[in-house]
Amino acid sequence: MEPVQIAPGVYNVGVRDWNIRDFHGYSTDLGTTYNAFLVMDEKIALIDSVKKQFADQLIDNIAAIVDPRRIDVVVSNHTELDHSGSLARIMHRVGEDKPLVCSKLGAKNLARHFPQKWNYRAVGSGEELKLGKRTLAFLETRMIHWPDSMFSYLKEDGILFSSDGFGQHYAGPETFDDEIGDRIMVHARKYFANILLLYATHIEKLIRQVAEMNLDLRMICPDHGVIWRRDPGKIVQAYLTWCRQEPGKKAAVIYDTMWHSTEKMAEAINAGIMATGVPSKPMNLRSWHRSEVMTEVFDARAVVVGSPTLNNSLFPTVADFLCYMKGLKPKNKLGAAFGSYGWSGEAVKMIEGELTDMKIELIQPGLRTQFVPEKAILDACHEFGRKIGQAVLAGPDAGARAAV
Ligand code: FEO
């Protein structure tokens, strides 16, 4: 990726990671980007860096604009290694004694990643750095996505450098949201559901605080994906909606299967749900990546989980998904469990235990069948699904809002 001027004197010097398919357990089917920004003024600032293996590309991109040694200050909005992995190379090129601006926790966390004694300049919310005609203002944004995270705001240009906030794991030819259109929202939503959902309450509070500051927001530049310039307010509004976690009238049937018995149950339950008019999708965990399933769960009211019993326990993919979902703490869900077994049949109770731990209200007792489900059992599964559909219909509907 060559550097792109995103505003007069402001460049995206980041890189595209076209081929990454697994980003710490998140499926990145279209790759991602690590955006980094160069602000040219009397002082030159570099905001964020990129993953370690792309350091050369970042340095080449900077060098296409200015000799890296002329950079006066490096800003690290977030310590995670997709944004700081090439910091050692960058600081070596820029000058080890140059100021490295970050949050107080950023200074601590960077020091736990890098042994170099850099010239850390820890800043807090409201502190500013004059670059010349332009000013960078800093805002601590803990847990978007680590405790060290902060945003940097280029006041005179109305540009917010938002690190992980408002990002999308998407690599394409586009630089800006208006070049891809609403198709980008699918990626922004998946990113929120899998990276930020856990912090939704906190994020909502933070966005409301920022809204009270009445910032002139002309562009939002996340460190992943495209830049929001057509209507930055749109992604901010979408985040406010997503933070509320108001589910739509839909369900997801999530399962794995050994000899297709649990799968037959899943299909019958799904058909029962759909017979009530509630959209639902059966998702086999060996076909669907956990992060795709979580995106489906995000705006579903009912989460229906099925597992065969394997060695007196859950099937491993189901245990994996439940562990993943539990960590993200989805709210406002109903649930139910089902599964087939050979002789002991513990899995359904174990799923119910996990759902209850997640404060997911169980619609009805779990449904088990021994070995292959016969017609009577499949009819019972269909009825089980109908009850789930009716429970979904009986609840509030966020409808289109949930599906933004
Ligand atoms: Fe893109 Fe939390 O790093």
Say how many Å lie between the CA of residue 283 and the centre of ligand 1: 28
Residues 217 and 299 in one domain: no
Q: Which of 182, 384, 190 is nearest to 296 (CA)?
A: 190
Distance, CA of 291 to CA of 28 (rounded, Å): 9
Average pLDDT over residues 312-321: 98
Position 211 scores a pLDDT of 87
Under 8 Å between Cβ of 387 and 269: no
Residues 237 and 264 in one domain: no
Residues 329 and 382 in one domain: yes
- 341 an active-site residue? no
Identified catalytic residue from 17, 41, 48, 80:
80
Position 403 scores a pLDDT of 53
Position 196 scores a pLDDT of 97
Atom of ligand 1 minimally distant from the CA of 164: 1
Residues 221 and 261 in one domain: no
Q: Percentage of the chain surpassing pLDDT 90?
A: 96
Residue with structure tokens 């491993």?
316
Cα angle 52, 169, 53 (rounded to 5 degrees) comes to 10
Residues 238 and 252 in one domain: no
Distance, CA of 339 to CA of 73 (rounded, Å): 58
- 289 an active-site residue? no
Q: What is the pLDDT of residues 361-395, one digit of tens each?
A: 999 999 999 999 999 999 999 999 999 999 999 98
Q: Is 185 exposed, middle or buried (0-12, 13-18, 19+ CB in 10 A)?
A: middle
pTM: 0.96
Position 113 scores a pLDDT of 98
Atom of ligand 1 minimally distant from the CA of 223: 1
Domain of 371? 248-403
Under 8 Å between Cβ of 101 and 46: no
| Atom 3 of ligand 1: nearest residue by CA position | 80
Say how many Å lie between the CA of residue 328 and the centre of ligand 1: 16
Distance, CA of 373 to CA of 257 (rounded, Å): 13
Residues 321 and 240 in one domain: no
What contacts 258, CB < 8 A, 6 or more positions away?
Answer: 308, 310, 315
Position 2 scores a pLDDT of 86
Position 397 scores a pLDDT of 63
- 145 an active-site residue? yes
- Tell me the three-class secondary structure of 108-167, residue by residue: HHHHHHCCCCCEEEEECCCCEEECCCCEEEEEECCCCCCCCCEEEEEHHHCEEEEECCCC
The CATH number that applies at residue 191 is: 3.60.15.10
C-alpha 85: how far from its chain's center?
20
Q: Percentage of the chain surpassing pLDDT 70?
A: 98
| Atom 1 of ligand 1: nearest residue by CA position | 164
Residues 119 and 63 in one domain: yes
Position 399 scores a pLDDT of 53
Say how many Å lie between the CA of residue 185 and the centre of ligand 1: 18
- 22 an active-site residue? no
The amino acid that residue 366 corresponds to is G
Q: Which of 68, 12, 71 is nearest to 41 (CA)?
A: 71
The structure tokens listed for 4 are 């792109």
Lowest mean pLDDT among 43-52, 209-218, 274-283: 209-218
Identified catalytic residue from 224, 255, 346, 352:
224
Among 221, 244, 267, residue at a domain's last position: 244
Q: What is the pLDDT of residues 207-260, one digit of tens each?
A: 998 888 899 999 999 999 999 999 999 999 999 999 999 999 999 999 999 999
Among 244, 264, 294, residue at a domain's last position: 244
Q: Which of 29, 364, 4 is nearest to 187 (CA)?
A: 29
Say how many Å lie between the CA of residue 235 and the centre of ligand 1: 18
Q: What is the pLDDT of residues 111-154, one digit of tens each?
A: 999 999 999 999 999 999 999 999 999 999 999 999 999 999 99
Residue with structure tokens 């809204």?
211
Identified catalytic residue from 41, 140, 164, 177:
164
Sign of CA pseudo-dihedral 28, 218, 120, 87: positive
Average pLDDT over residues 49-62: 98
Identified catalytic residue from 34, 153, 191, 255:
191
Atom of ligand 1 minimally distant from the CA of 163: 1
Average pLDDT over residues 42-65: 98
Into how many domains does the chain fold?
2
Cα angle 121, 221, 88 (rounded to 5 degrees) comes to 40
Say how many Å lie between the CA of residue 145 and the centre of ligand 1: 6
Residues 282 and 346 in one domain: yes
**Torsions phi, psi for 130 (to 5 deg):** -80, 125
Residues 208 and 287 in one domain: no
C-alpha 325: how far from its chain's center?
13
The structure tokens listed for 315 are 């099937």
- 224 an active-site residue? yes
Average pLDDT over residues 305-324: 98
The amino acid that residue 300 corresponds to is A
Residues 196 and 102 in one domain: yes
Mean of the per-residue pLDDT values of the chain: 96
Residue with structure tokens 């779990």?
366
Q: What is the pLDDT of residues 339-360, one digit of tens each?
A: 999 999 999 999 999 999 999 9
- Tell me the three-class secondary structure of the chain, residue by residue: CCCEEEECCEEECCEEECCCCEECCEECCCCEEECCEEECCCCCEEECCCCHHHHHHHHHHHHCCCCHHHCCEEECCCCCHHHHCCHHHHHHHHCCCCEEEEEHHHHHHHHHHCCCCCEEEEECCCCEEECCCCEEEEEECCCCCCCCCEEEEEHHHCEEEEECCCCCCCCCCCCEHHHHHHHHHHHHHHHHHHHHHHHHHHHHHHHHHHHHCCCCCCEEEECCCCEECCCHHHHHHHHHHHHHCCCCCCEEEEECCCCCHHHHHHHHHHHHHHHCCCCEEEEECCCCCHHHHHHHHHCCCEEEEECCCECCECCHHHHHHHHHHHHHCCCCCEEEEEEEECCCCCHHHHHHHHHHHCCCEECCCCEEEECCCCHHHHHHHHHHHHHHHHHHHHCCCCHHHCCC
Say how many Å lie between the CA of residue 80 and the centre of ligand 1: 5
Identified catalytic residue from 41, 82, 140, 346:
82
The CATH number that applies at residue 285 is: 3.40.50.360
Position 297 scores a pLDDT of 98
Among 211, 244, 277, residue at a domain's last position: 244
Residues 225 and 258 in one domain: no
- Residues in contact with ligand 1 (CB, 6 Å cut-off): 78, 80, 82-83, 145-146, 164, 223-224
Residues 152 and 263 in one domain: no
